[in-house]
Amino acid sequence: MQILITGATGFVGRALCQHLHGQGHQLLVVSRKPDDAQASIGVPVTAARSAVDFADRQVDGVVNLAGEPIFNRRWSDSQKERLMQSRIEATRDIGQLCSRMATPPAVMVSASAMGWYGDHGSHEVTEQTPPADTRKFDHRLCQRWEEEALALAGEPMRVACIRIGLVLDRDGGMLKPMLPMFRLGLGGRVGDGRQYMPWIHRHDLVRIIDFLLQREGADGIWNAGAPNPVTNAEFTRTVAGALNRPAFFVMPAAVLRPVLGEMSELLLGGARMKPARLEEAGFTFDYPHLEQAMAAIVEGRGDRAL
């Protein structure tokens, strides 16, 4: 297949490109720095600044991952606008591409996040669960992003949106800054530690994207988190345990809120998100438990089966 990927230079995109290249697919990538894309991805790709630049190519499938990083900086009004617009524009760019093609792609897998659900305490959350609070920025961001993506669905393109949990691997995402702290014994829980943290090993997320690209009729919303989400306290214990370090510290909510502002809610709340549709569809996780995932990551064998 010829697969077009936005956000291909990112933490998830790089692993996805390596996986898809290994399967023999040809990769067309959209990047703000097309000249640097191949070097950062590490496998052969054809890169362009806009999806529209590929209008004269055959594109069989699309994976839409691009967006301003969520934890880059405090959520000022202008940063919220950047978070929103970067995702809307990347998705509309794909719409522009489709409108210029005689034969649009058959499928698009488009990123979204667990933030769509908001804080659900200890209740289990599936794709059927409504959002906790539609006024929260993280919900509105995911909702707009999904609306833009789902608006492109139609003959012949099916669209699957993936609500991604915290993606774990050693060279990016949340673990990259966290592991050195934990190695120094400076790890600790956040707030009361009871908030749920849906997580997913990057290896399994890449497999999920591949699964949804291939699976006939897979459309709509799919939760992309491991089947065993953990609380922040369990997460902290497991990461520290994988490194054989203690994790005595506590980051109190009262300290975090003034420092991070609204963004602190991402760390202080959460959803016990279950991948109900993936399990019904027969997808099997290589890393269903956090202990296994962390052991593999710490030992540097995260990509063993990719």
Ligand X SMILES: NC(=O)c1ccc[n+]([C@@H]2O[C@H](COP(=O)([O-])OP(=O)(O)OC[C@H]3O[C@@H](n4cnc5c(N)ncnc54)[C@H](OP(=O)(O)O)[C@@H]3O)[C@@H](O)[C@H]2O)c1
- Judged by the rule CB under 6 A, the positions of this chain that interact with ligand X are 7, 9-13, 31-33, 65-70, 82, 86, 90, 111, 113, 164, 166-167, 172-174
Minimum CB distance to ligand X, residue 98 (Å): 19
Minimum CB distance to ligand X, residue 283 (Å): 18
With respect to ligand X, which residue has the nearer C-beta, 104 or 165? 165
Minimum CB distance to ligand X, residue 29 (Å): 8
- Residue 280's φ and ψ, nearest 5 degrees, are -60, -35
With respect to ligand X, which residue has the nearer C-beta, 52 or 217? 52
With respect to ligand X, which residue has the nearer C-beta, 41 or 98? 41
With respect to ligand X, which residue has the nearer C-beta, 40 or 185? 40
With respect to ligand X, which residue has the nearer C-beta, 67 or 187? 67
- In 10 A of CB 190, how many CB atoms? 21
Q: Which amino acid is at 215?
A: R
Minimum CB distance to ligand X, residue 263 (Å): 13
Distance between CA atoms of 151 and 207, rounded to whole angstroms?
Answer: 25
Distance between CA atoms of 45 and 37, rounded to whole angstroms?
Answer: 8
With respect to ligand X, which residue has the nearer C-beta, 68 or 286? 68
Distance between CA atoms of 233 and 193, rounded to whole angstroms?
Answer: 4
Minimum CB distance to ligand X, residue 248 (Å): 26
Minimum CB distance to ligand X, residue 154 (Å): 23
Minimum CB distance to ligand X, residue 86 (Å): 3
- In 10 A of CB 217, how many CB atoms? 7
- In 10 A of CB 280, how many CB atoms? 10
Burial call 34-44: b when 16+ CB within 10 Å, e when fewer: beebbebbeee
With respect to ligand X, which residue has the nearer C-beta, 70 or 256? 70
What the block records as the tokens of 226 is: 């491991």
Contacts of 82 (CB under 8 A, 6+ apart): 68
30 touches 92 (CB < 8 A): no
Q: Which residue is nearest to ligand X (CB)?
A: 10
Contacts of 102 (CB under 8 A, 6+ apart): none
